[in-house]
Structure 1
Amino acid sequence: MRLIQRIQHLLAQTQAVGSRSITLMAPSLSGCAVCGKAVNAKAAASRPGTSSYAGEILHTLRHSLCAACCDAIPWLERIKCPICGRGISCEDCTRRPDRHFVVNRSAVSYDSVMRGWLALYKYRGYERLAPVLAEMLVPPLLRLTKDISESEPIQQQGKSRLRRLIYGFFNKQQLSDYWDAITYVPISAQRAEDRGFNQAKEMAAHLSERFGVPLFHLLVRELHSEKMSFKSRAERLRDVRNLFRVDEAELRELEEGPLAKQLSPYERRRALRILLVDDIYTTGSTVEACSSALLRSANYDLRIYVLTWSRS
Protein backbone atom coordinates (compact mmCIF):
# COMPACT_ATOMS: atom_id res chain seq x y z
CA MET A 1 0.00 0.00 0.00
CA ARG A 2 1.39 3.41 -0.93
CA LEU A 3 2.31 5.77 1.90
CA ILE A 4 -0.27 8.40 0.91
CA GLN A 5 -3.00 5.79 0.59
CA ARG A 6 -2.12 4.39 4.00
CA ILE A 7 -2.18 7.83 5.62
CA GLN A 8 -5.58 8.55 4.07
CA HIS A 9 -6.88 5.18 5.26
CA LEU A 10 -5.60 5.73 8.80
CA LEU A 11 -7.13 9.21 8.95
CA ALA A 12 -10.49 7.88 7.80
CA GLN A 13 -10.31 4.96 10.22
CA THR A 14 -9.38 7.23 13.13
CA GLN A 15 -12.20 9.63 12.31
CA ALA A 16 -14.74 6.81 12.15
CA VAL A 17 -13.64 5.15 15.37
CA GLY A 18 -13.29 8.50 17.13
CA SER A 19 -16.85 9.31 16.22
CA ARG A 20 -18.04 6.00 17.66
CA SER A 21 -16.03 6.61 20.85
CA ILE A 22 -17.60 10.05 21.30
CA THR A 23 -21.03 8.49 20.85
CA LEU A 24 -20.25 5.93 23.53
CA MET A 25 -18.96 8.49 26.02
CA ALA A 26 -21.81 10.96 25.53
CA PRO A 27 -25.02 10.75 27.58
CA SER A 28 -27.61 8.53 25.94
CA LEU A 29 -30.45 10.37 24.24
CA SER A 30 -32.36 7.38 22.94
CA GLY A 31 -32.16 4.80 25.68
CA CYS A 32 -30.21 1.59 26.14
CA ALA A 33 -28.30 0.46 23.05
CA VAL A 34 -29.65 -3.07 23.59
CA CYS A 35 -33.22 -2.87 24.90
CA GLY A 36 -34.12 0.80 24.45
CA LYS A 37 -35.03 1.40 28.10
CA ALA A 38 -34.08 4.63 29.82
CA VAL A 39 -30.43 5.03 30.81
CA ASN A 40 -29.67 6.78 34.08
CA ALA A 41 -25.91 7.34 34.00
CA LYS A 42 -25.83 9.18 37.34
CA ALA A 43 -27.64 6.37 39.16
CA ALA A 44 -25.45 3.76 37.49
CA ALA A 45 -22.33 5.56 38.68
CA SER A 46 -23.38 5.13 42.30
CA ARG A 47 -24.28 1.44 41.99
CA PRO A 48 -21.67 -1.14 42.97
CA GLY A 49 -20.45 -3.25 40.05
CA THR A 50 -21.41 -6.89 39.86
CA SER A 51 -17.79 -7.74 39.02
CA SER A 52 -14.38 -6.08 38.96
CA TYR A 53 -14.63 -5.94 35.17
CA ALA A 54 -17.87 -4.01 35.42
CA GLY A 55 -16.24 -1.50 37.73
CA GLU A 56 -13.36 -0.90 35.35
CA ILE A 57 -15.51 0.27 32.43
CA LEU A 58 -18.78 1.22 34.10
CA HIS A 59 -18.00 4.89 33.51
CA THR A 60 -18.34 4.32 29.75
CA LEU A 61 -20.93 1.54 29.52
CA ARG A 62 -23.35 3.34 31.82
CA HIS A 63 -23.95 5.96 29.13
CA SER A 64 -25.12 3.37 26.62
CA LEU A 65 -26.61 0.51 28.63
CA CYS A 66 -29.35 0.38 31.23
CA ALA A 67 -28.65 -1.11 34.66
CA ALA A 68 -30.33 -4.42 33.80
CA CYS A 69 -28.26 -4.91 30.65
CA CYS A 70 -25.05 -3.98 32.48
CA ASP A 71 -25.83 -6.56 35.14
CA ALA A 72 -26.57 -9.22 32.51
CA ILE A 73 -23.01 -9.20 31.13
CA PRO A 74 -21.33 -12.55 32.02
CA TRP A 75 -17.77 -11.23 32.45
CA LEU A 76 -15.16 -13.95 32.09
CA GLU A 77 -12.87 -13.28 35.03
CA ARG A 78 -11.97 -16.68 36.50
CA ILE A 79 -9.69 -18.43 34.04
CA LYS A 80 -9.27 -22.19 34.22
CA CYS A 81 -7.36 -22.82 30.99
CA PRO A 82 -4.22 -20.65 30.75
CA ILE A 83 -4.07 -21.02 26.96
CA CYS A 84 -7.57 -20.22 25.70
CA GLY A 85 -8.80 -18.33 28.76
CA ARG A 86 -11.84 -20.54 29.31
CA GLY A 87 -13.50 -20.59 32.71
CA ILE A 88 -13.68 -24.40 32.76
CA SER A 89 -11.37 -27.24 31.79
CA CYS A 90 -10.67 -27.20 28.06
CA GLU A 91 -10.45 -30.40 26.03
CA ASP A 92 -9.41 -28.54 22.87
CA CYS A 93 -6.24 -27.20 24.50
CA THR A 94 -5.55 -30.61 26.03
CA ARG A 95 -5.70 -32.17 22.56
CA ARG A 96 -3.58 -29.43 20.97
CA PRO A 97 -1.20 -28.01 23.59
CA ASP A 98 1.18 -26.57 20.98
CA ARG A 99 -0.34 -23.57 19.26
CA HIS A 100 1.00 -20.78 17.07
CA PHE A 101 -0.47 -18.06 19.30
CA VAL A 102 0.60 -17.45 22.88
CA VAL A 103 -2.76 -17.17 24.66
CA ASN A 104 -6.34 -16.08 24.12
CA ARG A 105 -8.25 -13.86 26.51
CA SER A 106 -11.96 -13.13 26.21
CA ALA A 107 -14.24 -10.54 27.75
CA VAL A 108 -17.41 -12.56 28.30
CA SER A 109 -18.85 -16.06 28.24
CA TYR A 110 -20.97 -16.70 25.15
CA ASP A 111 -24.35 -17.28 26.78
CA SER A 112 -27.81 -16.73 25.31
CA VAL A 113 -27.79 -13.04 26.27
CA MET A 114 -24.45 -12.34 24.59
CA ARG A 115 -25.52 -14.37 21.57
CA GLY A 116 -28.54 -12.10 21.27
CA TRP A 117 -26.44 -8.94 21.56
CA LEU A 118 -24.03 -10.05 18.87
CA ALA A 119 -26.91 -11.00 16.58
CA LEU A 120 -28.46 -7.55 17.01
CA TYR A 121 -25.19 -5.97 15.94
CA LYS A 122 -24.16 -8.33 13.13
CA TYR A 123 -27.49 -9.15 11.52
CA ARG A 124 -30.03 -6.51 12.55
CA GLY A 125 -28.01 -3.34 12.15
CA TYR A 126 -27.81 -2.14 15.77
CA GLU A 127 -24.82 0.12 15.03
CA ARG A 128 -24.98 1.74 18.48
CA LEU A 129 -23.76 -1.57 19.87
CA ALA A 130 -20.46 -1.39 17.96
CA PRO A 131 -18.53 0.81 20.44
CA VAL A 132 -20.19 -0.94 23.40
CA LEU A 133 -19.00 -4.39 22.34
CA ALA A 134 -15.56 -3.04 21.48
CA GLU A 135 -15.24 -1.27 24.82
CA MET A 136 -16.01 -4.56 26.58
CA LEU A 137 -12.64 -5.81 25.27
CA VAL A 138 -10.76 -3.25 27.34
CA PRO A 139 -10.64 -5.12 30.70
CA PRO A 140 -9.15 -8.36 29.30
CA LEU A 141 -6.72 -6.31 27.19
CA LEU A 142 -5.53 -4.38 30.25
CA ARG A 143 -5.07 -7.56 32.25
CA LEU A 144 -3.27 -9.31 29.42
CA THR A 145 -0.95 -6.31 29.11
CA LYS A 146 -0.38 -6.38 32.85
CA ASP A 147 0.62 -10.06 32.64
CA ILE A 148 3.09 -9.25 29.85
CA SER A 149 4.51 -6.31 31.78
CA GLU A 150 5.21 -8.53 34.78
CA SER A 151 6.83 -11.33 32.78
CA GLU A 152 8.59 -9.21 30.13
CA PRO A 153 8.99 -5.66 31.51
CA ILE A 154 10.21 -3.15 28.96
CA GLN A 155 13.41 -1.21 29.62
CA GLN A 156 13.18 2.36 28.40
CA GLN A 157 14.97 5.36 29.83
CA GLY A 158 12.79 7.63 31.91
CA LYS A 159 10.04 5.03 32.34
CA SER A 160 9.22 3.67 35.76
CA ARG A 161 8.90 -0.13 35.85
CA LEU A 162 7.03 0.05 39.14
CA ARG A 163 4.52 2.41 37.63
CA ARG A 164 3.90 -0.02 34.78
CA LEU A 165 3.33 -2.88 37.18
CA ILE A 166 0.51 -1.02 38.90
CA TYR A 167 -2.60 -2.04 37.00
CA GLY A 168 -4.54 1.17 37.46
CA PHE A 169 -1.84 3.35 35.92
CA PHE A 170 -2.06 2.02 32.38
CA ASN A 171 -2.85 4.90 30.08
CA LYS A 172 -2.91 5.28 26.32
CA GLN A 173 0.84 5.74 25.92
CA GLN A 174 1.91 3.14 28.48
CA LEU A 175 -0.22 0.32 27.08
CA SER A 176 0.95 1.05 23.54
CA ASP A 177 4.56 0.48 24.66
CA TYR A 178 3.78 -3.23 25.01
CA TRP A 179 2.10 -3.77 21.63
CA ASP A 180 3.57 -3.34 18.17
CA ALA A 181 0.39 -3.89 16.17
CA ILE A 182 -3.29 -4.74 16.31
CA THR A 183 -4.84 -6.84 13.57
CA TYR A 184 -8.03 -8.85 13.14
CA VAL A 185 -9.56 -11.98 11.65
CA PRO A 186 -10.81 -11.04 8.15
CA ILE A 187 -14.08 -12.06 6.56
CA SER A 188 -14.68 -12.96 2.93
CA ALA A 189 -15.55 -10.33 0.33
CA GLN A 190 -19.01 -11.88 -0.03
CA ARG A 191 -19.65 -11.73 3.70
CA ALA A 192 -18.43 -8.14 3.85
CA GLU A 193 -20.75 -7.19 1.00
CA ASP A 194 -23.73 -8.91 2.61
CA ARG A 195 -23.15 -7.54 6.11
CA GLY A 196 -21.50 -4.23 5.27
CA PHE A 197 -18.77 -4.52 7.88
CA ASN A 198 -16.42 -6.89 9.70
CA GLN A 199 -17.15 -6.86 13.42
CA ALA A 200 -13.62 -8.01 14.30
CA LYS A 201 -12.13 -5.17 12.27
CA GLU A 202 -14.45 -2.67 13.98
CA MET A 203 -13.38 -3.89 17.41
CA ALA A 204 -9.69 -3.80 16.47
CA ALA A 205 -10.04 -0.27 15.08
CA HIS A 206 -11.70 0.91 18.30
CA LEU A 207 -8.86 -0.46 20.44
CA SER A 208 -6.26 0.96 18.06
CA GLU A 209 -7.70 4.44 18.35
CA ARG A 210 -8.31 4.18 22.09
CA PHE A 211 -4.78 3.08 23.02
CA GLY A 212 -2.67 4.40 20.16
CA VAL A 213 -1.52 0.98 18.89
CA PRO A 214 -1.12 0.85 15.07
CA LEU A 215 -3.77 -1.10 13.17
CA PHE A 216 -2.38 -3.37 10.44
CA HIS A 217 -4.46 -5.28 7.88
CA LEU A 218 -2.22 -8.32 7.94
CA LEU A 219 -4.59 -11.05 6.82
CA VAL A 220 -6.84 -11.74 3.85
CA ARG A 221 -9.55 -14.37 3.71
CA GLU A 222 -9.04 -16.33 0.52
CA LEU A 223 -12.29 -18.28 0.36
CA HIS A 224 -15.90 -17.80 1.34
CA SER A 225 -17.23 -20.53 3.64
CA GLU A 226 -20.35 -21.32 5.60
CA LYS A 227 -20.63 -19.83 9.06
CA MET A 228 -18.36 -21.58 11.54
CA SER A 229 -21.17 -21.67 14.09
CA PHE A 230 -22.99 -24.17 11.86
CA LYS A 231 -20.06 -26.59 11.75
CA SER A 232 -18.81 -29.37 14.00
CA ARG A 233 -15.42 -29.22 15.67
CA ALA A 234 -13.91 -31.57 13.07
CA GLU A 235 -15.33 -29.48 10.22
CA ARG A 236 -13.93 -26.28 11.71
CA LEU A 237 -10.45 -27.72 12.04
CA ARG A 238 -10.53 -29.06 8.48
CA ASP A 239 -12.01 -26.05 6.73
CA VAL A 240 -9.82 -23.24 8.12
CA ARG A 241 -6.49 -24.66 6.97
CA ASN A 242 -6.37 -22.76 3.68
CA LEU A 243 -8.76 -19.91 4.40
CA PHE A 244 -6.22 -17.18 5.11
CA ARG A 245 -3.20 -15.63 3.48
CA VAL A 246 -0.94 -12.84 4.66
CA ASP A 247 -0.79 -9.40 3.06
CA GLU A 248 2.95 -9.39 2.51
CA ALA A 249 3.18 -5.62 2.04
CA GLU A 250 1.46 -4.95 5.35
CA LEU A 251 3.62 -7.49 7.18
CA ARG A 252 6.84 -6.07 5.70
CA GLU A 253 5.74 -2.58 6.71
CA LEU A 254 5.25 -3.78 10.26
CA GLU A 255 8.60 -5.56 10.35
CA GLU A 256 10.71 -2.98 8.54
CA GLY A 257 8.88 0.30 9.03
CA PRO A 258 9.44 3.17 11.46
CA LEU A 259 7.82 1.24 14.31
CA ALA A 260 10.59 -1.37 14.40
CA LYS A 261 13.41 1.11 13.68
CA GLN A 262 12.47 3.37 16.57
CA LEU A 263 12.75 0.62 19.18
CA SER A 264 15.59 0.70 21.67
CA PRO A 265 18.41 -1.87 21.30
CA TYR A 266 16.78 -3.97 24.03
CA GLU A 267 13.40 -3.83 22.32
CA ARG A 268 14.85 -4.75 18.93
CA ARG A 269 16.01 -8.04 20.44
CA ARG A 270 12.52 -9.06 21.45
CA ALA A 271 9.74 -10.44 19.31
CA LEU A 272 7.14 -8.11 17.86
CA ARG A 273 3.90 -8.44 19.81
CA ILE A 274 0.75 -8.63 17.70
CA LEU A 275 -2.77 -8.52 19.10
CA LEU A 276 -5.17 -10.57 16.94
CA VAL A 277 -8.82 -9.61 17.49
CA ASP A 278 -11.95 -11.66 16.77
CA ASP A 279 -15.51 -11.79 18.10
CA ILE A 280 -15.90 -15.43 19.22
CA TYR A 281 -13.44 -18.10 20.31
CA THR A 282 -14.91 -21.60 20.00
CA THR A 283 -12.31 -24.26 19.19
CA GLY A 284 -9.55 -21.77 18.39
CA SER A 285 -9.19 -23.17 14.87
CA THR A 286 -9.71 -19.79 13.17
CA VAL A 287 -7.18 -17.81 15.20
CA GLU A 288 -4.78 -20.77 15.04
CA ALA A 289 -4.96 -20.71 11.23
CA CYS A 290 -4.41 -16.96 11.19
CA SER A 291 -1.46 -17.20 13.58
CA SER A 292 0.09 -20.04 11.63
CA ALA A 293 -0.13 -18.06 8.38
CA LEU A 294 1.52 -15.03 9.98
CA LEU A 295 4.39 -17.02 11.45
CA ARG A 296 5.05 -18.80 8.14
CA SER A 297 5.35 -15.48 6.30
CA ALA A 298 7.27 -13.53 8.93
CA ASN A 299 10.92 -12.54 8.61
CA TYR A 300 10.87 -11.17 12.15
CA ASP A 301 10.20 -13.04 15.38
CA LEU A 302 6.50 -12.62 16.19
CA ARG A 303 4.49 -13.35 19.32
CA ILE A 304 0.78 -13.42 18.59
CA TYR A 305 -1.75 -12.86 21.36
CA VAL A 306 -5.48 -13.33 20.74
CA LEU A 307 -8.21 -11.11 22.15
CA THR A 308 -11.82 -12.16 21.60
CA TRP A 309 -15.08 -10.63 22.72
CA SER A 310 -16.56 -13.94 23.84
CA ARG A 311 -15.50 -17.49 24.74
CA SER A 312 -18.07 -20.17 23.91
Structure 2
Amino acid sequence: MFSYISHISEHVQRLTGQLHKLLGPPGSPCLTCGTRAVLSSRYPGICSRCVQQIPWIRSIRCQRCGRGVGCPDCVRPHMQNRSFFCNRSAVQYNDLMKDWISMYKFRGYERYAPLLTAMLTQAFQAMSEELTLICEKETGKPLWRPDAVTYVPVSDERLAERGFNQAERLATELAITAGLPCVDLLQRQINTGKQSFKSRAERFETMKHAFSIKLDEFDFSLLKNYSKPFKLLLIDDIYTTGSTLDACGHVILHAASKAGVTVEIYTLTLARS
Protein backbone atom coordinates (compact mmCIF):
# COMPACT_ATOMS: atom_id res chain seq x y z
CA MET A 1 0.00 0.00 0.00
CA PHE A 2 2.77 2.43 0.99
CA SER A 3 4.62 1.73 -2.27
CA TYR A 4 1.45 2.36 -4.27
CA ILE A 5 0.78 5.70 -2.51
CA SER A 6 4.41 6.75 -3.00
CA HIS A 7 4.15 5.96 -6.71
CA ILE A 8 0.95 8.02 -7.02
CA SER A 9 2.61 10.92 -5.16
CA GLU A 10 5.61 10.94 -7.51
CA HIS A 11 3.29 10.83 -10.51
CA VAL A 12 1.29 13.80 -9.22
CA GLN A 13 4.51 15.77 -8.60
CA ARG A 14 5.66 15.13 -12.19
CA LEU A 15 2.30 16.24 -13.57
CA THR A 16 2.34 19.35 -11.38
CA GLY A 17 5.81 20.26 -12.60
CA GLN A 18 4.81 19.80 -16.25
CA LEU A 19 1.66 21.84 -15.70
CA HIS A 20 3.69 24.63 -14.07
CA LYS A 21 5.95 24.74 -17.12
CA LEU A 22 2.97 24.90 -19.47
CA LEU A 23 1.11 27.62 -17.56
CA GLY A 24 4.12 29.59 -16.29
CA PRO A 25 5.98 32.32 -18.17
CA PRO A 26 7.91 31.09 -21.23
CA GLY A 27 11.69 30.88 -21.27
CA SER A 28 14.32 30.03 -18.67
CA PRO A 29 15.32 31.47 -15.27
CA CYS A 30 17.44 34.61 -15.55
CA LEU A 31 20.96 34.07 -14.24
CA THR A 32 20.97 37.28 -12.22
CA CYS A 33 17.39 37.97 -11.05
CA GLY A 34 15.85 34.49 -11.31
CA THR A 35 12.84 35.63 -13.33
CA ARG A 36 11.62 33.10 -15.86
CA ALA A 37 11.73 34.83 -19.23
CA VAL A 38 13.01 34.65 -22.79
CA LEU A 39 16.72 35.30 -22.30
CA SER A 40 18.89 37.66 -24.31
CA SER A 41 20.69 36.24 -27.31
CA ARG A 42 23.44 38.86 -27.05
CA TYR A 43 24.13 38.70 -23.30
CA PRO A 44 24.02 35.01 -22.31
CA GLY A 45 21.90 33.98 -19.36
CA ILE A 46 20.02 37.18 -18.53
CA CYS A 47 16.58 38.60 -19.27
CA SER A 48 15.81 41.83 -21.12
CA ARG A 49 15.10 43.67 -17.87
CA CYS A 50 18.58 42.88 -16.53
CA VAL A 51 20.13 43.83 -19.88
CA GLN A 52 18.58 47.29 -19.47
CA GLN A 53 20.21 47.65 -16.05
CA ILE A 54 23.78 47.17 -17.32
CA PRO A 55 25.56 50.48 -16.54
CA TRP A 56 27.49 50.87 -19.80
CA ILE A 57 30.09 53.61 -20.04
CA ARG A 58 28.86 55.23 -23.23
CA SER A 59 30.20 58.76 -22.82
CA ILE A 60 33.88 59.02 -21.89
CA ARG A 61 34.91 62.06 -19.87
CA CYS A 62 38.59 61.17 -19.44
CA GLN A 63 40.30 60.08 -22.64
CA ARG A 64 43.22 58.54 -20.72
CA CYS A 65 41.54 56.28 -18.16
CA GLY A 66 38.13 55.93 -19.83
CA ARG A 67 36.11 57.18 -16.90
CA GLY A 68 32.51 58.16 -17.66
CA VAL A 69 32.36 60.83 -14.96
CA GLY A 70 34.66 63.65 -13.87
CA CYS A 71 38.19 62.33 -13.31
CA PRO A 72 40.63 64.11 -10.95
CA ASP A 73 43.19 61.31 -11.16
CA CYS A 74 44.77 61.73 -14.56
CA VAL A 75 45.68 65.40 -13.98
CA ARG A 76 47.88 64.53 -10.99
CA PRO A 77 51.61 65.08 -11.73
CA HIS A 78 52.66 61.50 -10.95
CA MET A 79 50.02 60.20 -13.39
CA GLN A 80 51.65 61.81 -16.43
CA ASN A 81 54.11 58.96 -16.88
CA ARG A 82 51.63 56.13 -17.11
CA SER A 83 52.75 53.07 -18.98
CA PHE A 84 49.60 52.63 -21.06
CA PHE A 85 48.32 54.77 -23.91
CA CYS A 86 44.71 54.63 -22.71
CA ASN A 87 42.25 52.51 -20.79
CA ARG A 88 38.69 51.67 -21.70
CA SER A 89 36.11 49.85 -19.57
CA ALA A 90 32.77 48.27 -20.37
CA VAL A 91 30.69 49.36 -17.38
CA GLN A 92 30.60 51.45 -14.24
CA TYR A 93 31.46 49.47 -11.14
CA ASN A 94 28.16 49.97 -9.30
CA ASP A 95 26.47 47.63 -6.80
CA LEU A 96 24.93 45.50 -9.55
CA MET A 97 28.24 44.96 -11.34
CA LYS A 98 29.99 44.32 -8.03
CA ASP A 99 27.50 41.54 -7.40
CA TRP A 100 27.85 40.00 -10.86
CA ILE A 101 31.64 40.05 -10.82
CA SER A 102 31.79 38.76 -7.24
CA MET A 103 29.51 35.84 -8.08
CA TYR A 104 32.00 34.78 -10.74
CA LYS A 105 35.28 35.87 -9.17
CA PHE A 106 34.81 34.80 -5.55
CA ARG A 107 31.99 32.26 -5.59
CA GLY A 108 32.92 30.40 -8.75
CA TYR A 109 29.61 30.70 -10.61
CA GLU A 110 30.88 29.62 -14.02
CA ARG A 111 27.62 30.56 -15.77
CA TYR A 112 28.62 34.22 -15.44
CA ALA A 113 31.67 33.73 -17.68
CA PRO A 114 29.87 33.99 -21.08
CA LEU A 115 27.93 37.06 -19.89
CA LEU A 116 31.01 38.94 -18.65
CA THR A 117 32.96 37.96 -21.76
CA ALA A 118 30.18 39.31 -23.99
CA MET A 119 30.25 42.60 -22.10
CA LEU A 120 34.03 42.89 -22.40
CA THR A 121 33.89 42.00 -26.10
CA GLN A 122 31.39 44.80 -26.72
CA ALA A 123 33.73 47.24 -24.96
CA PHE A 124 36.62 46.00 -27.10
CA GLN A 125 34.63 46.61 -30.27
CA ALA A 126 33.80 50.16 -29.16
CA MET A 127 37.44 50.74 -28.23
CA SER A 128 38.59 49.50 -31.63
CA GLU A 129 36.18 51.80 -33.45
CA GLU A 130 37.24 54.80 -31.34
CA LEU A 131 40.97 54.23 -31.79
CA THR A 132 40.55 53.49 -35.49
CA LEU A 133 39.07 56.98 -35.96
CA ILE A 134 42.04 58.46 -34.10
CA CYS A 135 44.50 56.47 -36.23
CA GLU A 136 42.83 57.64 -39.42
CA LYS A 137 43.09 61.30 -38.35
CA GLU A 138 46.64 61.19 -37.01
CA THR A 139 48.42 58.64 -39.22
CA GLY A 140 46.09 57.90 -42.11
CA LYS A 141 46.10 54.22 -41.18
CA PRO A 142 42.70 52.60 -41.71
CA LEU A 143 42.52 50.30 -38.69
CA TRP A 144 43.57 50.06 -35.05
CA ARG A 145 44.09 46.50 -33.93
CA PRO A 146 46.23 45.05 -31.13
CA ASP A 147 48.87 42.51 -32.09
CA ALA A 148 48.40 40.41 -28.95
CA VAL A 149 46.43 40.19 -25.72
CA THR A 150 47.79 39.59 -22.22
CA TYR A 151 46.40 39.92 -18.70
CA VAL A 152 47.12 40.84 -15.11
CA PRO A 153 48.30 37.76 -13.19
CA VAL A 154 47.19 36.71 -9.71
CA SER A 155 49.40 35.36 -6.94
CA ASP A 156 49.78 31.63 -6.33
CA GLU A 157 47.76 32.08 -3.14
CA ARG A 158 44.86 33.71 -4.98
CA LEU A 159 45.02 31.10 -7.74
CA ALA A 160 44.82 28.29 -5.19
CA GLU A 161 41.98 30.05 -3.39
CA ARG A 162 39.81 30.74 -6.45
CA GLY A 163 40.98 27.99 -8.76
CA PHE A 164 41.34 30.36 -11.71
CA ASN A 165 42.45 33.84 -12.76
CA GLN A 166 39.41 35.81 -13.88
CA ALA A 167 41.52 38.26 -15.93
CA GLU A 168 43.17 35.37 -17.76
CA ARG A 169 39.83 33.83 -18.65
CA LEU A 170 38.43 37.13 -19.88
CA ALA A 171 41.56 37.75 -21.96
CA THR A 172 41.58 34.24 -23.41
CA GLU A 173 37.94 34.37 -24.47
CA LEU A 174 38.30 37.86 -25.91
CA ALA A 175 41.39 36.81 -27.86
CA ILE A 176 39.53 33.84 -29.33
CA THR A 177 36.58 36.02 -30.33
CA ALA A 178 38.81 38.69 -31.87
CA GLY A 179 41.18 36.22 -33.53
CA LEU A 180 44.22 37.46 -31.61
CA PRO A 181 47.05 35.59 -29.84
CA CYS A 182 46.87 35.57 -26.04
CA VAL A 183 50.28 35.72 -24.34
CA ASP A 184 51.04 34.48 -20.82
CA LEU A 185 53.49 37.32 -20.26
CA LEU A 186 53.51 38.36 -16.60
CA GLN A 187 53.84 36.78 -13.18
CA ARG A 188 53.05 38.19 -9.76
CA GLN A 189 56.11 38.07 -7.51
CA ILE A 190 54.34 38.93 -4.26
CA ASN A 191 50.83 38.58 -2.91
CA THR A 192 49.74 42.21 -2.54
CA GLY A 193 46.52 41.37 -0.70
CA LYS A 194 43.15 42.92 -1.45
CA GLN A 195 43.65 46.33 -2.99
CA SER A 196 40.11 47.44 -2.15
CA PHE A 197 41.09 47.92 1.48
CA LYS A 198 44.04 50.21 0.70
CA SER A 199 44.39 53.94 0.14
CA ARG A 200 45.52 55.35 -3.20
CA ALA A 201 49.08 55.89 -1.97
CA GLU A 202 49.23 52.38 -0.50
CA ARG A 203 48.06 50.87 -3.78
CA PHE A 204 50.80 52.52 -5.80
CA GLU A 205 53.49 51.67 -3.25
CA THR A 206 52.38 48.03 -3.02
CA MET A 207 52.45 47.58 -6.79
CA LYS A 208 55.99 48.88 -7.39
CA HIS A 209 57.66 45.47 -7.29
CA ALA A 210 54.68 43.17 -7.59
CA PHE A 211 55.19 41.91 -11.16
CA SER A 212 57.87 40.53 -13.44
CA ILE A 213 58.14 39.11 -16.95
CA LYS A 214 57.91 35.38 -17.58
CA LEU A 215 61.14 35.27 -19.54
CA ASP A 216 60.61 31.65 -20.57
CA GLU A 217 57.22 32.48 -22.10
CA PHE A 218 57.94 35.42 -24.39
CA ASP A 219 61.10 36.68 -26.10
CA PHE A 220 60.84 40.40 -26.90
CA SER A 221 63.87 40.22 -29.16
CA LEU A 222 61.69 38.37 -31.68
CA LEU A 223 59.95 41.71 -32.31
CA LYS A 224 63.10 43.58 -33.36
CA ASN A 225 62.23 43.39 -37.03
CA TYR A 226 58.64 44.42 -36.44
CA SER A 227 57.87 47.31 -38.78
CA LYS A 228 55.63 49.22 -36.36
CA PRO A 229 55.15 49.57 -32.61
CA PHE A 230 53.88 46.29 -31.20
CA LYS A 231 50.40 46.95 -29.82
CA LEU A 232 49.65 44.97 -26.69
CA LEU A 233 46.20 44.86 -25.06
CA LEU A 234 46.38 44.30 -21.29
CA ILE A 235 43.23 42.91 -19.63
CA ASP A 236 41.97 43.12 -16.04
CA ASP A 237 38.53 42.87 -14.45
CA ILE A 238 38.31 46.15 -12.49
CA TYR A 239 40.02 49.54 -12.88
CA THR A 240 40.11 51.57 -9.65
CA THR A 241 43.23 53.75 -9.48
CA GLY A 242 45.03 52.12 -12.40
CA SER A 243 48.00 51.22 -10.19
CA THR A 244 47.88 47.51 -11.05
CA LEU A 245 47.69 48.06 -14.80
CA ASP A 246 50.34 50.78 -14.65
CA ALA A 247 52.75 48.54 -12.73
CA CYS A 248 52.25 45.70 -15.22
CA GLY A 249 52.74 48.10 -18.11
CA HIS A 250 56.02 49.50 -16.77
CA VAL A 251 57.42 45.99 -16.37
CA ILE A 252 56.50 45.20 -19.97
CA LEU A 253 57.96 48.45 -21.32
CA HIS A 254 61.20 47.91 -19.39
CA ALA A 255 61.61 44.40 -20.82
CA ALA A 256 60.81 45.64 -24.33
CA SER A 257 63.29 48.53 -24.01
CA LYS A 258 66.08 46.16 -22.95
CA ALA A 259 65.38 44.10 -26.05
CA GLY A 260 65.45 47.20 -28.25
CA VAL A 261 61.82 47.02 -29.36
CA THR A 262 58.93 49.47 -29.18
CA VAL A 263 55.70 48.41 -27.49
CA GLU A 264 52.48 50.39 -27.11
CA ILE A 265 50.25 49.25 -24.27
CA TYR A 266 46.48 49.67 -24.23
CA THR A 267 44.35 48.45 -21.34
CA LEU A 268 40.80 47.15 -21.22
CA THR A 269 38.79 46.23 -18.14
CA LEU A 270 35.33 44.94 -17.50
CA ALA A 271 34.44 47.63 -14.94
CA ARG A 272 35.61 51.14 -13.98
CA SER A 273 35.03 52.47 -10.48
TM bucket (normalised to shorter chain) is: 0.7 to 0.9
* 1:1-312 alignment, distance < 5 Å: 31-41=29-39, 59-61=41-43, 63-95=44-76, 96-152=79-135, 161=142, 178-252=145-219, 256=222, 268-298=226-256, 299=259, 300-312=261-273
Any unmatched runs of 5+ in structure 1? Answer: 1-27, 45-58, 154-159, 165-176, 262-267
Distance apart, 1:30 and its partner CA? 5.2
Aligned counterpart, 2:11: none
Going from structure 1 to structure 2, the CA distance change for 1:183 and 1:37 (only over 3 Å counts) comes to same
The amino acid across from 2:244 in the alignment is T
Residue 209 of structure 1 deviates from its aligned partner by 0.9
2:211 & 2:130 partners in 1: Cα distance? 29
Match of 2:7 in 1: none
Letter in 1 for 2:49: A
Partner SS for 1:136: helix
Task: Give runs of ≥4 in structure 1 deviating > 4 Å.
Answer: none
Q: Is the 8 A contact 1:248 1:297 kept in 2?
A: no
For the pair shown, the structure with the greater C-alpha radius of gyration is: 2
- For residue 152 of structure 1, report the CA deviation from its aligned partner: 3.1
* Cα deviation, residue 29, structure 1: 7.7
Superimposed CA distance per residue, residues 103-161 of structure 1 (whole angstroms, 9 cap, x where no aligned partner): 000000000111111111112221100111111012221122123323335xxxxxx94
* Separation in 1, partners of 2:245, 2:134: 23
| Change over 3 Å in CA distance of 1:255–1:207 after alignment to 2 | farther
SS of the aligned residue for 2:265 comes to strand
Normalised to the residue count of structure 2, the TM-score between the two structures is 0.82
> What is the deviation of 1:38?
1.8
Q: Deviations over 1:49-100 (max 9, x none)?
A: xxxxxxxxxx421x41012211111001111011000012212211112211
For 2:169 and 2:31, how far apart are their aligned partners in 1? 17
Q: Would you say the 8 A contact 2:239–2:271 is kept in 1?
A: yes
| TM-score normalized with structure 1 length | 0.72
Q: CA deviation at 1:255?
A: 5.3
Distance in 2 of aligned mates of 1:73 and 1:255: 42
Cα distance in 2 between the residues matched to 1:240 and 1:29: 46
Cα distance between partner residues in 1 of 2:28 and 2:171: 26
Alpha-carbon separation, structure 2, partners of 1:144 and 1:250: 28
Aligned-residue RMSD, C-alpha? 2.1
* Mapped contact 1:131–1:203 kept (Cα < 8 A): no
Question: SS of the counterpart of 2:204?
Answer: helix
Amino acid corresponding to residue 158 of structure 2 in structure 1: R
Contact 1:183 1:215 in 2 (8 A): yes
Aligned partners of 1:255 and 1:84: how far apart in 2?
30
Contact 2:28 2:38 in 1 (8 A): no
Q: How far apart are 1:226 and its partner, in Å?
A: 1.4
Identity of aligned residues (%): 39
| C-alpha distance after superposition, 1:248-269 (max 9, x if no partner) | 23331x6517xx87xxxxxx33
1:152-198 superposed Cα distances (whole Å, 9 cap, x missing partner): 35xxxxxx94xx6xxxxxxxxxxxx8221100000000100000111
Contact residue 88 and residue 267 of structure 2 kept, 8 A: yes
Q: Which moved more, 1:91-100 or 1:285-294?
A: 91-100
**2: CA distance between counterparts of 1:182 and 1:219?**
12
